[in-house]
A and B are shown apart, each in its own frame.
Chain A
Amino acid sequence: MPDPIAVANAIAAGVLLGGFYAAVALGIAIAFGLLDIPNLAHPAFVVMGAFAAWQLNSRLALDPVLAGLVMAPPFFVLGLLVYRLYYVCFERRGEAQLQGLAFFFGVLFITEVTLVLTAGADYRSVSASYIGVSLSVGGIILPERMLVPFGVALAMIVLLHQFLVRSFMGRAIQAVAQDEEALRLMGVSPIKVKALAFGLATATAAIAGALLIIVQPVEPSIGRDFIGRAFAAVVLGGMGSLYGTLLASMLLGITESIVSDMWNPSWAPAIAFGFLLPTLALRSSGLLGRRL
């Protein structure tokens, strides 16, 4: 019978990890979950965000989270531009998912290589006062290095959800996900709405990148490790639901954590992804999804 404190620790670590995964997956939850744009390059944007945070942190001694927030507007603009290109080349022609997928694969490589050429192939980290320190709550140890990203991720998701539900633009984004034609008939340009949403998704990459480099050292090619987890979280959680993505990310995090701690770390990714397959088979709308 495993020690309850140990189990509680494992679950707590998984929750924090899951929150971080959700921050990375958030951009895909918006772009893919809501807009059906299969943005495979998102993890590379996250890594780009991590490098941006590194630069600001090492040159201007800016706190990484702050650096992420500072970089969010330029990333927003980047998202607008990328969407424009995507729209002009693919969506307008009605070309299906395949070409879009390949396009974003290409962008993934281009982003990664540009990072190598500009920032070098070495590992980079940031310094912050909360790295290396832990909080102890009733026998459960919470490293601040994971706690801070968790908190920021949670804040991002809640804020974005409120935006989607309460603001005009937010509801327009949800509307464009449900019925683009109807939106157009109501006098709102779906293209502008989608561009805005995609810009938001890319802006989250700036912040998620800052969180990434707080959690671990970063080098240009590690984006590829996150493609699987991010898409799995979105699909598992249900397309179109931000809270679903959060829940699914936490499930993935908790599974990885418990398997690593109590059994064998080597099998952690297999088990986590193993969750995905039966879920898709049995309930393809995911955990909290509303549509197929």
Chain B
Amino acid sequence: MSNRLFSALIAALVVALWLAGRLVSNEYVFFVGYAVVQYILLATAWNLLGGYAGYINFGTAAFFALGAYIAVAINKLVDLPVPVLILAGGVAAGALGLAMGYLTLKLRGVFFSIATLAMAIVFQAVITNWSFVGGASGAYVLRPNEGPWGGSYVEYLFYLMLSMAGGAVALARIIERSRVGYGLASIRDDELASEASGVPTLRLKVLATVLSGALMGMAGAPLPFYVAYLDPPSAFNLSYAVNTIAMPLVGGTGTWLGPVIGAVLLTAVQQGAMVTISSAANLLLVGLLMVAFITLAPNGIVGLVRGLANRPSTGGNKK
């Protein structure tokens, strides 16, 4: 399937969901839906660097929170529509990705990951001391009641996020099948050999980091409107970092489909558990699921399905 056709299908899906959504009167669908598509976007974004290039970013929170706080900061100065804030968040987070890329991408393996963690912590300290956006006491954001087409505002946020998630998935697929994607894959498999073969590894890694960061920032920008309140502990919450790593892992890191499956599955489980079992056992569930999936299906669900599909039906060659 060509990229153009795929993108068109995604666009059609978004429109179809929009039309279906106009018939839904139950707000809860949009609230949960927001969480799901937010994580599809975050997981897909993370996977560009983590799954495709093999560089594990622990600093998801920094990009996500930056997007959220840029939105708050601009919103305090001038009243702009949310899509503009999202773009601003994306640009800022992309810039952070550029800076982080040049500082840390020369490090290999887990050193890179530790460096991203350090950056997130430094960044949190910076935001906590930035009193214009409320610093430690947090910022309130008053959101309008209605969206531009008459539905509720959260419905509007949901569709914005859905469109972004769709775009990100299409982008992921395009990258996956392009020279950039092959370059990233070669970095993941053996960076030294790749470098030796003339692949511009640093440039590709930085590109992946910038794209990944920008998308995460865009995912963060609507958050203050969704929650109506933003403070550093919730913006930099560990669960964002953990989930964005767990979801591609559970779904499968090699392709665009993995993060989508992982995000839908894990978010649905967490949201469902929150309003049913609803106790400390929620986190336990996430932990157990992560461990179970990773031990039993290390290549994620996608890998599991592929493995089953590729199993030879007759004797075949045995290594």
Q: Do A and B bind each other?
A: yes
- Nearest Cβ on chain A to B105's Cβ, whole angstroms: 10
> Counting CB contacts under 8 A, is A20 at the interface?
no
- Least distance between B33 CB and chain A CB atoms (Å): 25
Range class of the B interface residue count: 35 or more
Q: Is the CB of B104 within 8 A of A110?
A: no
1/0 per position for A155-188, CB-CB distance to B under 8 A? 0000000000000000000000000000000000
Instruction: Report the minimum CB–CB distance from A92 to chain B (whole Å).
Output: 11
* CB neighbours of B121 from chain A (8 A): 228, 269-270, 273
Is A66 close to B, CB under 8 A? no
- The answer, yes or no, to whether A75 is at the interface (CB within 8 Å) is no
Given A98-B249, A108-B287, A284-B107, the answer on whether A276 and B294 have CB atoms closer than 8 Å is no
Return the CB mask of A2-23 against B: 1 if under 8 Å, else 0. Answer: 0000000000000000000000
Residue of A nearest to B58 (CB): A101
CB-nearest residue of chain B relative to A276?
Answer: B118
Segment of B9-17, B86-94, B108-116 in the binding face: B108-116
For the complex, what is the distance from the CA of A90 to the CA of B50, rounded to whole Å?
Answer: 18
CB nearest neighbor in B for A110:
B287
Q: Is the CB of A107 within 8 A of B110?
A: no
Q: Check if A89 sits within 8 Å of B126, measured CB to CB.
A: no
Which residues of A from 259 to 273 have beta carbons under 8 Å from B? 266-267, 269-270, 273
Q: Which residues of A contact B113 (CB under 8 A)?
A: 101
Chain A residue with minimal CB distance to B112?
A280
User: A154: shortest Cβ distance to chain B, in Å?
Assistant: 25
Docked Cα-Cα span, A79 to B103, in Å, equals: 35
Report chain A residues within 8 Å CB of B238.
224
B110 engages A277 (CB within 8 Å): no
Does B287 lie within 8 Å of A109, measured CB to CB? yes
Q: Please report the C-alpha to C-alpha distance between residue A4 and residue B56 in the assembled complex, in whole angstroms.
A: 45
Judge whether A105 and B245 touch: CB under 8 Å: yes
Check B114 against A231 for contact (C-beta < 8 Å).
yes
Determine whether the beta carbon of A110 is less than 8 Å from that of B115: no
Q: Is B202 an interface residue (CB 8 A)?
A: no
B226 to nearest A CB, angstroms?
24
**Chain B residues, CB < 8 A from A141:** none
Q: Which of B103-138 contact A (CB under 8 A)?
A: 103-104, 106-111, 113-115, 117-119, 121-122, 125-126, 128-129
B binding-site residues for A, Cβ under 8 Å: 50, 54, 56, 103-104, 106-111, 113-115, 117-119, 121-122, 125-126, 128-129, 238, 242, 245-246, 249, 253, 280-281, 283-284, 286-291, 294-295, 298
**A contact set with B: CB distance below 8 Å:** 32, 36, 38, 85, 89-90, 93, 95-99, 101-103, 105-110, 112-114, 116-117, 121, 224, 227-228, 231-232, 235, 266-267, 269-270, 273-274, 276-277, 280-281, 284, 292
Sampled A-B contacts (29; CB under 8 Å)? A32-B110, A85-B295, A89-B298, A90-B295, A90-B298, A93-B298, A98-B54, A98-B249, A101-B245, A103-B290, A105-B246, A106-B286, A109-B242, A113-B281, A116-B280, A228-B117, A231-B114, A235-B111, A267-B129, A269-B121, A269-B122, A270-B126, A274-B118, A274-B122, A276-B118, A277-B103, A277-B115, A280-B114, A284-B111
Known contacts A89-B295, A99-B298, A235-B114; can you find 19 more A-B pairs with CB under 8 A? A90-B298, A98-B56, A102-B245, A102-B294, A103-B290, A103-B294, A106-B294, A107-B291, A109-B290, A113-B281, A113-B283, A113-B287, A117-B284, A273-B121, A276-B115, A280-B104, A280-B111, A281-B103, A281-B106
